[in-house]
Amino acid sequence: MRNVVVATHGHCFDGLCSAVMYTRLLRHVRAGEELAFSYRGMGYGPGQNGVDPAILTGDDNAILDYRFSVAPSLNWYFDHHVSAFPGAAERDAFEAGLHDAKRHLFHDGKYGSCTKLIADVGRARFGLDTSDCAELVRWADMIDSASFPSAEMAVEKSEPVLQLMTVVENKGNDAFLAAMIPRLLERPLDEVAKSQDVTEAFAPLWAQQQKFVEQVRAGAEVRGSVVLVDLSDVVIDVAAKFVTYAYWPESAYSVLLTRSTTKCKLSIGYNPWSKVPRTHDIAKICERHGGGGHPVVGAVTLKADEVAKAKTLARAIADELAS
């Protein structure tokens, strides 16, 4: 029995699909071997700056869709975040690992999703047949790169896969991953998305999202090309992406501050449907404040009791984006 530890981005549709694709890849690479997979969901909350090396105890250890680790036990890595390397030590360790035949490390910040990166590398480098994963890759790429045909599609969530996405974003812990990944390995994505348990889990989340939409509409402040929404005065458990783009389609950027019981979160994004050209690298802005992401979207998290600091930072970032 060969034990495999997979640390992937938790509470994230691309993180889930990346784990599915990697599992397919490793089963192909190690065909004929008995593999036992253990999945761990990684987060970006306060103090969560990377994967704890202590969990990388498998014969194969993979990090997917998440920050690189210098842990010598890491022998598989896939990510597409431009902020994948917290510092020079991580970047140097990654570069050195590229020359180690026993390690398989892949990073490409030009990819819209980690799922597609794994699929493409698997096909080109390892001969993996990904034809039956086309829908999984298509949806993961659309969702993580925000390449929906419209903001309304992303907000209305009439597509079953977007309902599954919502469930993943709110329920996607270790136990959820352990249960959902085998289902997506065995059944088509659309079939899983239409399952009764997914539909039932989505219903209360949808009701909470409708309340969130009203909170956004009531609390939004338009500052030039930026929509700033500060909802930190209340605890919010369910938030939705792209709401500002649907209701303020002329905006170029959004800065959304929310507070849960565990953290304050600033979600910063560029409106992919905007006619205004993007002039800021959001990942670099977020990195300056301990966060990260992509040039078009990113996030910064602070402790739950750092509300005043989060409010000040949200306004400062909004002002920077409006300049």
Helices (H), 30-173: 88-97, 114-126, 134-144, 151-156, 160-171
Radius of gyration of the chain (CA): 19
CATH number (3.40.190.290, 3.90.230.10, 3.10.310.30, 3.40.50.2300) of 215-322 reads 3.10.310.30
Domain 2-194 has CATH 3.40.50: no
Who's near 47: CB < 8 A, 6+ residues apart? Answer: none
The dihedral region occupied by 92, where left means phi > 0, alpha psi between -120 and 50, and beta the remainder, is alpha
Token digits of residue 31: 């065909």
pTM of the entire predicted model: 0.92
Give the start-to-end residue ranges of the domains of the chain. 2-194, 215-322
Per-residue pLDDT of the chain (323 residues; tens, 9 = 90+): 999 999 999 999 999 999 999 999 999 999 999 999 999 999 987 766 789 999 999 999 999 999 999 999 999 999 999 999 989 999 999 999 999 999 999 999 999 999 999 999 999 999 999 999 999 999 999 999 999 999 999 999 999 999 999 999 999 999 999 999 999 999 999 999 999 999 999 999 999 999 999 999 999 999 999 999 999 999 998 888 899 999 999 999 999 999 999 999 999 999 999 999 999 999 999 999 999 999 999 999 999 999 999 999 999 999 999 99
